[in-house]
């Protein structure tokens, strides 16, 4: 590529990493180029998860490399972005495993539970997902959750249904959030997917993140031993501790998808000729490329600022809500422009622009819709709640 910024780091965010952290990011980048990009579109088209990548994921040891030894929040964000840059479906697997699932255990499990579960989870010898959304409850799940937990001798019995749970068809564990019949509070449980009464059915005909195996989960009298209830997951306020962190992660996902959009658009417009000239030489196309770049830099700047707040321990739910809302909004515009730059080829998944365009819709919608996150942020500056 003829440009000066082939990696898209236009404002030099990577220069804020230590040399050791930069080596980790470059290791992840090499892995995505060698292993993920060559197979991602084919699996996306077939709506199948690329299980062939699991061995290299374990060898790469990304979760341990990023989480341990005092790594920065900026590194964690840039690694998330780098994987989503290559493929949002594989990135969603990482974010689910490392964020919502692992985060639930790190934040809400007892020390004994952490010692028992986390080593295999960090090593990706055991996989897990996070189940909170229900068929009839999304943004309002805090008050309208219908999945129930009933205390019995030796543990709990769960009944209910969850929906849109990524990779729940093959994961080893699921963190299930259920309403305690006795005190009406939401509590968290680690459910082994081999237990009697648990079933997961693949959701068909999805247009986004197609390689993710989103599932409908059914829980019929599932017995959960007492030591599989997350010790510190006793109200929805505890659940929100996990969701706050997840919204930050989704912001980095949106950064990564925009990186992928820019990669695709630059390559295509550099190689494609029209009227005897490169598409990248036309003013209107350069304007669109510059808008994508501007959205990307603005998004990455917002997320880097959030990472600094996280490093100082100063983040609140409204910070991550505002970031998720606006970074995903800019991502949506970038994905549309990227598809537009490819013309008719922009609606063929082989060129990846169509894949980016569709995947952006999922990222824009989950972990709090744009509208809900806007209201969470506005509540913090007005003192008024526009929703219950």
1 found inside a domain: no
Residues 211 and 285 in one domain: no
Domain count, the chain: 3
Q: In order along the chain (388 residues), what is the average pLDDT of each group of 10 residues?
A: 63 94 94 96 96 92 69 92 96 88 93 95 93 86 90 97 95 96 96 97 95 96 98 92 81 96 96 95 97 97 94 87 96 98 93 96 91 92 87
The token duo for 4 is: 């000066």
Residues 256 and 214 in one domain: no
For residue 2, the model assigns a pLDDT of 53
Structure-token match 């989960």, residue found: 217
Residues 164 and 213 in one domain: yes
- Residue 237 makes CB contacts below 8 A (sequence gap 6+) with none
Which CATH number fits the domain that encloses residue 87? 1.10.540.10
Q: Alpha-carbon distance 151 to 317, whole Å? A: 31
3-state secondary structure at position 298: helix
Residues 247 and 361 in one domain: yes
387 found inside a domain: no
Is the whole-model pTM more than 0.85? yes
Residues 144 and 99 in one domain: no
Which CATH number fits the domain that encloses residue 194? 2.40.110.10
For residue 63, the model assigns a pLDDT of 74
50 found inside a domain: yes
For residue 1, the model assigns a pLDDT of 47
Q: How many CA atoms lie within 13 A of 245 on its CB side?
A: 20
Residues 52 and 25 in one domain: yes
Can you list the positions of beta strands (E) in the chain?
128-131, 148-152, 155-165, 173-180, 186-192, 198-202, 215-225, 273-274, 277-278
Structure-token match 């990222």, residue found: 363
Domain span holding position 87: 13-123
How far separated are the first and last CA of the chain, in Å rounded?
51
For residue 380, the model assigns a pLDDT of 92
Residues 227 and 247 in one domain: no
Residues 97 and 146 in one domain: no
7 found inside a domain: no
Which CATH number fits the domain that encloses residue 368? 1.20.140.10
340 found inside a domain: yes
Residues 189 and 244 in one domain: no
Residues 245 and 352 in one domain: yes
Residues 117 and 186 in one domain: no
6 found inside a domain: no
For residue 151, the model assigns a pLDDT of 97
């Amino acid at each position: 590529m003829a440009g000066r910024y082939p990696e898209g780091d236009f404002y030099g965010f990577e220069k804020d990493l230590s040399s050791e952290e930069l080596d980790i990011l470059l290791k992840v980048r090499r892995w995505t180029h060698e292993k993920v990009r060559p197979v991602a579109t084919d699996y996306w088209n077939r709506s199948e998860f690329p299980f062939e990548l699991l061995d290299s994921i374990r060898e790469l040891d990304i979760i341990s490399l990023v989480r341990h030894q005092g790594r920065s929040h900026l590194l964690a964000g840039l690694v998330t972005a780098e994987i989503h840059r290559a493929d949002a479906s594989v990135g969603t697997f990482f974010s689910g495993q490392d964020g919502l699932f692992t985060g639930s255990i790190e934040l809400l499990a007892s020390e004994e539970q952490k010692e028992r579960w986390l080593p295999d989870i960090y090593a990706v010898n055991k996989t897990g997902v996070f189940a909170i959304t229900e068929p009839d409850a999304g943004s309002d799940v805090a008050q309208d959750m219908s999945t129930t937990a009933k205390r019995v001798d030796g543990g709990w019995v769960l009944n209910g249904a969850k929906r849109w749970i990524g990779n729940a068809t093959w994961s080893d564990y699921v963190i299930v959030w259920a309403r305690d019949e006795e005190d009406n509070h939401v509590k968290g449980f680690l459910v082994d997917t081999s237990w009697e009464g648990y079933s997961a059915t693949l959701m068909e005909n999805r247009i986004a993140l197609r390689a993710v195996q989103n599932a409908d989960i059914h829980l019929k009298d599932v017995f959960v031993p007492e030591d599989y209830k997350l010790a510190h997951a006793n109200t929805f306020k505890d659940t929100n501790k996990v969701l706050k962190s997840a919204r930050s992660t989704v912001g980095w996902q949106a950064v990564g998808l925009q990186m992928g959009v820019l990669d695709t658009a630059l390559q295509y417009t550099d190689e494609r000729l029209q009227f005897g000239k490169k598409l990248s030489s036309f003013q209107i196309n350069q304007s669109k490329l510059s808008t994508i770049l501007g959205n990307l830099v603005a998004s990455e700047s917002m997320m880097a600022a959030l990472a600094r707040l996280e490093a100082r321990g100063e983040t609140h739910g409204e910070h991550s809500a505002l970031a998720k809302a606006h970074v995903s909004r800019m991502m949506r515009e970038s994905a549309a422009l990227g598809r537009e730059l490819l013309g008719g080829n922009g609606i063929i998944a082989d060129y990846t622009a169509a894949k980016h365009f569709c995947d952006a819709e999922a990222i824009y919608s989950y972990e709090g819709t744009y509208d809900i996150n806007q209201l969470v942020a506005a509540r913090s500056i007005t003192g008024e709640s526009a929703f219950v």
